Amino acid sequence: MTELAIKAQGLTRLFGDLTAVDAIDLQIERGRIFGFLGPNGSGKTTAIRMLCGLLTPSAGEVTVLGHPIPRQAELLRREIGYMTQKFSLFTDLSTLENLRFMASIYGLPRSRRKGRIEAVLAQFSLQELRDRRLDAMSGGQRQRVALAVATLHEPTLLFLDEPTSAVDPENRRDFWEKLFDLSAAGTTILVSTHYMDEAERCHQLAILERGRIRRDDTPQALMSALEGRVVEVSGESLRPLREILVTQPEIISAAQQGNRLRVLMTPEVEDPLQCLDRLAGPGRALERTLARPNLEDVFMAATAKGGPA
Amino acid sequence: MKSLVRILAVTQKEFLQLSRDRISFGMVVMIPLVQLLLFGYAINTEVRHVPIGIVDLSNSAAARVITEQVRVTQVVDIIDHYDTPQEAEQAVIAGAVRAVLLFPRDLPRRIASGDTVGQWLVDGSDTTISQALLSLRSMPLQLSAGAPAGAYQRGNPSFEVSLFFNPERRSAVNIVPGLTAIVLTMTMILFTALALVRERELGNMELLITTPIHPLELMVGKLVPYILVGLVQVAIILGLGHVIFRVPFAGGLAALAVSTLAFIAASLTLGLIISTVARSQLQAMQLTIFILLPSILLSGFMFPYEAMPLAAQWIAEAFPATHYIRLVRAVVLRGAETHLLGGELLWLGGFTVLGLGLATARFRKTLD
């Protein structure tokens, strides 16, 4: 037994000319919720598929739950749960029918099958939906069923590929409460997302962009690393100001949020407020304050202007 | 004008999509090509080289002379000789030969008295075949050396003809059992191919392959329901065929069940193989048609197998439907028992085992 649930070194996958995943290293401790944050096409799904043995890596070493992958992928399958990005349960079957089917496929002993099904129905508040067909359910309800199915055989490692992309914020919050329950019970969870609020809930976060991991730390550490580099500006004519700012080498990003402009500066800038005044030029009535960095800033800092800043 | 632009835009887009769907694109060329060859070769109502056997009870030189004259008509191929009429009858039931020419013990006396010189025992289930053999009934015979052909004029026909299994020469008798093969080919292949391809399209497959399930378990599990579907279809066709079209049912249910199960298994396997090739349900459908057409045209369902050129016969042998049509006609029309059908059954069984192996090997539990 290793302490690490997932250990990957130089994990790479090529599709023809395209390098979907480019030499990523991962060390994920058992019992944690580890997040992949990245835009579409950043390699999140490809990385997850390689980690659960669905895709053969073009290069790199992977050990998942002590199994070298892809060699022992078949052994790993009993210990993992996988929620695909595209909803993959049988929509013309009911909750109970899907659960029964998957329980048999995973080879749960007959004596345990009923108990486990009742347990997940209760755990994910699905009793009311037990006989409803999945094609008559909302996105949030379906995701609960999918999570119930993924955890039915009590996997020690869960792969969730953008599990909440079709779910409203409230249901998303409930969904995450369930994830924390599972995590507290010892399950390691690898979740990919492009939602900042979701990423912030992870114990640890890897920011992916164009197949590379740009940052890998706790969300808090990632955010505090940007302390003193984010300025919020309010005042007149923010659109023209933004046009000026985004062309400047000192500025990583400038994004408007309502009537404020959120400006992220490079680490080389010593006094952000002064720098901003200089770049904006004279004659503008601007109110500007240092702001607490958020994950979006982290994401922009990690990915903008051609790679690690 | 704008309308034209839009039409062109849609046309261009269709061309683009078609050129990227390689299987569909291939079908554009393959379907007319294969159809042309199939129809060109298969449709041949002028039957030649019907396999027959000879029973010569007279053991006379005259019998050999007559046999030779029958042979040179090219309507028949003499492929075997039998010692007794019983043996010959078994061969007809098993489908080894379509007819037997029987020379009676008193052949020399019959020639002398101008009587019929022999008897044709014909498998009448295929009306095209029986028609061809009936045409031999009054063929002129040259029975004394030196005399010109046809000089020996007789009041009677040369042969007696007994049509077995379908004396009224109704085509339904032959068509209905054969139809089971066509319907099964169509539904069994299509159902399995679509069932698997659909799961891949819908994403179910990605979930299933992350589970501990073995590909063979998945495939066998998928096939079982369709076996039942196939049996129901056969029951409907033969049941209604018996009631409505008075198609006789001469054979045993056990022989029919064994043959049908063997054919269903082979067809389902074919569907599985297609499902490992096809990327979409449309492609699965096209590939099914690609199998279905030759199964209809070459299997002996529409046109007699014997009337096809040798190359077409070889191709026909590759399709399970050809073998099942022989089986089902043998059982239903001629009452053949299982022990007479070993060869065809073995072929279907071998096809299934090989196909299942191929499909399982091609089915990967990865998304590579």
CA distance B280 to chain A (A): 17
B73 and A CB contact within 8 Å = no
B309's CB contacts (< 8 A; 6+ apart) are: B41, B44
Say how far apart CA A133 and CA A93 lie, in whole Å.
5
* Whether A62 and A162 share a structural domain: yes
More confident of the two residues A34 and A197? A34
Residue in chain B closest to A46 (alpha carbons) equals B367
Say how far apart CA B265 and CA B218 lie, in whole Å.
15
Q: Any bridge partners for residue A141, and if so which?
A: none
The average confidence (pLDDT) of chain A is 90
For residue A3, what pLDDT is reported?
A: 79
Q: What percent of chain B has pLDDT over 70?
A: 95
Residues of A in contact with B211 (CB under 8 A): 77, 102, 105-106
For residue A258, what pLDDT is reported?
A: 87
A105 and B CB contact within 8 Å = yes
Q: How confident is the model at residue B169 (pLDDT cuts 50, 70, 90)?
A: confident
For residue A309, what pLDDT is reported?
A: 38
For residue B45, what pLDDT is reported?
A: 67
Q: Any bridge partners for residue B205, and if so which?
A: none
Say how far apart CA B267 and CA B181 lie, in whole Å.
10
A87 and B CB contact within 8 Å = yes
**CA-wise closest residue to A189 among A220, A155, A165:** A155
CB B210 to CB A52 under 8 A? yes
- Say whether A190 sits in a helix, a strand or coil: strand
Lowest mean pLDDT among A27-36, A108-117, A275-284, B186-195: A275-284
Residue in chain B closest to A54 (alpha carbons) equals B366
Position A29 in a domain: yes
**Domain stop point among A172, A202, A223:** A223
- For residue A304, pLDDT over 80 is answered with no
- For residue B145, pLDDT over 70 is answered with no
Q: What is the DSSP-derived secondary structure letter of residue A82?
A: E
Other beta carbons less than 10 A from residue B262's beta carbon:
23
Q: How confident is the model at residue A307 (pLDDT cuts 50, 70, 90)?
A: very low
Residues of A in contact with B196 (CB under 8 A): none
* Whether A33 and A78 share a structural domain: yes
Between positions 21 and 60 of A, the ones with CB within 8 A of B are 49, 52-56
Mean pLDDT for A184-191 is 95
A77 and B CB contact within 8 Å = yes
CB A82 to CB B367 under 8 A? no
What are the tokens at A216? Answer: 């890998």
Strands A80-83 and A230-235: unpaired
Position A184 in a domain: yes
* Whether A142 and A247 share a structural domain: no
Residue in chain A closest to B209 (alpha carbons) equals A54
A82 and B CB contact within 8 Å = yes
- Say whether A225 sits in a helix, a strand or coil: coil
Nearest CB to B212 within list A54, A82, A107 = A107
Nearest CB to A84 within list B207, B211, B368 = B207
- First and final CA of chain A: distance in angstroms? 37
Match 């249910």 to its residue by tokens.
Answer: B253
Match 């992350």 to its residue by tokens.
Answer: B210
Nearest CB to B206 within list A73, A88, A107 = A88
- Over residues A193-239, the pLDDT tens digits come to 988 889 999 999 999 999 999 999 999 999 999 888 899 998 888 88
For residue A120, what pLDDT is reported?
A: 95
Range of the domain at A62: 4-223
- Over residues A237-263, the pLDDT tens digits come to 888 889 888 888 888 889 888 889 999
**CA-wise closest residue to B158 among B142, B137, B143:** B137
- For residue B38, pLDDT over 50 is answered with yes
Say how far apart CA A71 and CA B179 lie, in whole Å.
49
Say how far apart CA A119 and CA A126 lie, in whole Å.
10
For residue A145, what pLDDT is reported?
A: 94
Strands A212-217 and A251-257: unpaired
B203 and A CB contact within 8 Å = yes
Position A168 in a domain: yes
- Domain assignments of chain B as residue spans, ordered by start: 50-164, 170-362
Residues of B in contact with A56 (CB under 8 A): 366, 368
- Over residues A83-109, the pLDDT tens digits come to 998 889 999 999 999 999 999 999 899
Q: How confident is the model at residue B153 (pLDDT cuts 50, 70, 90)?
A: low
- For residue A1, pLDDT over 50 is answered with no
A143's CB contacts (< 8 A; 6+ apart) are: A83, A163, A164, A166, A167, A171, A175
Domain CATH for A171: 3.40.50.300
When divided into structural domains, chain A yields a total of 2
Say how far apart CA B32 and CA B38 lie, in whole Å.
10
ipTM: 0.77
Nearest CB to A84 within list B206, B211, B212 = B206
- For residue A5, pLDDT over 90 is answered with yes
Q: How confident is the model at residue B248 (pLDDT cuts 50, 70, 90)?
A: confident
Lowest mean pLDDT among B37-41, B173-177, B257-261: B37-41
CB A54 to CB B211 under 8 A? no
* Whether A219 and A240 share a structural domain: no
Please tell me the pTM assigned to this model: 0.79
Position A304 in a domain: no
Position A309 in a domain: no
- For residue B152, pLDDT over 70 is answered with no
- For residue B352, pLDDT over 50 is answered with yes
Q: What is the DSSP-derived secondary structure letter of residue A70?
A: T
Nearest CB to A88 within list B203, B212, B368 = B203
Residues of B in contact with A93 (CB under 8 A): none
Q: What percent of chain A has pLDDT over 90?
A: 66
- For residue B222, pLDDT over 90 is answered with no
Position A254 in a domain: yes
For residue B148, what pLDDT is reported?
A: 45
Mean pLDDT for B126-138 is 87
Position A174 in a domain: yes
* Whether A54 and A24 share a structural domain: yes
- For residue A154, pLDDT over 90 is answered with yes
Q: What percent of chain A has pLDDT over 70?
A: 97
* Whether A123 and A88 share a structural domain: yes
* Whether A27 and A107 share a structural domain: yes
Q: In terms of C-beta density within 10 A (0-12 exposed, 13-18 middle, 19 or more buried), how is residue B34 classed? A: middle
Mean pLDDT for B60-87 is 91
| Contact criterion met (CB below 8 Å) for B116 and B159 | yes
Say how far apart CA B217 and CA B123 lie, in whole Å.
44
* Whether A90 and A158 share a structural domain: yes
For residue B151, what pLDDT is reported?
A: 43
For residue B144, what pLDDT is reported?
A: 63
B216 and A CB contact within 8 Å = no
Query: Dihedral through CA B95, CA B97, CA B98, CA B102, nearest 10?
Result: -130
Residues of A in contact with B367 (CB under 8 A): 49, 54-55
* Whether A148 and A263 share a structural domain: no
| Contact criterion met (CB below 8 Å) for A77 and B210 | yes
CB B211 to CB A88 under 8 A? no
- Say whether B271 sits in a helix, a strand or coil: helix
For the residues of B114-163, what is the DSSP string, one character each?
T---EEEEEETTSHHHHHHHHTTTT-----STTSPTT-S--SS-SEEEEE
Residues of B in contact with A107 (CB under 8 A): 212
Tell me, which fold does domain B50-164 have in CATH? abc type-2 transporter like fold (3.40.1710)
Position A274 in a domain: yes
For residue A116, what pLDDT is reported?
A: 95
Strands A204-209 and A33-37: parallel
A252 and B CB contact within 8 Å = no
Residues of B in contact with A89 (CB under 8 A): 204, 207
CB A105 to CB B203 under 8 A? no
* Whether A88 and A43 share a structural domain: yes
* Whether A185 and A131 share a structural domain: yes
Mean pLDDT for B300-316 is 85
Taking CA atoms, B60 is separated from B66, B68, B84, B87, B217, in Å, by 10, 13, 16, 20, 63
For residue A305, what pLDDT is reported?
A: 55
**CA-wise closest residue to B74 among B93, B92, B52, B98:** B52
Residues of A in contact with B368 (CB under 8 A): 55-56
Radius of gyration of chain A (CA): 22
Q: How confident is the model at residue B44 (pLDDT cuts 50, 70, 90)?
A: low
What are the tokens at B55? Answer: 């029973």
Say how far apart CA B133 and CA B48 lie, in whole Å.
10
Say how far apart CA A44 and CA A39 lie, in whole Å.
9
| Contact criterion met (CB below 8 Å) for B95 and B326 | yes
Residue in chain A closest to B221 (alpha carbons) equals A105
**Domain stop point among A204, A223, A242:** A223
| Contact criterion met (CB below 8 Å) for A232 and A289 | yes
- In a mutational test of the B interface, the residue from A55, A58, A62, A77 whose CB has the highest number of chain B CBs within 10 Å is A77
For residue B146, what pLDDT is reported?
A: 47
Say how far apart CA B59 and CA B39 lie, in whole Å.
43
* Whether A207 and A257 share a structural domain: no
For the residues of A232-292, what is the DSSP string, one character each?
EEEES-HHHHHHHHHTSTTEEEEEEETTEEEEEE-TT-S-HHHHHHHHH-SS--EEEEE--
- For residue A272, pLDDT over 70 is answered with yes
| Contact criterion met (CB below 8 Å) for A162 and A194 | yes
CA distance B195 to chain A (A): 12
Residue in chain B closest to A57 (alpha carbons) equals B368
B220 and A CB contact within 8 Å = no
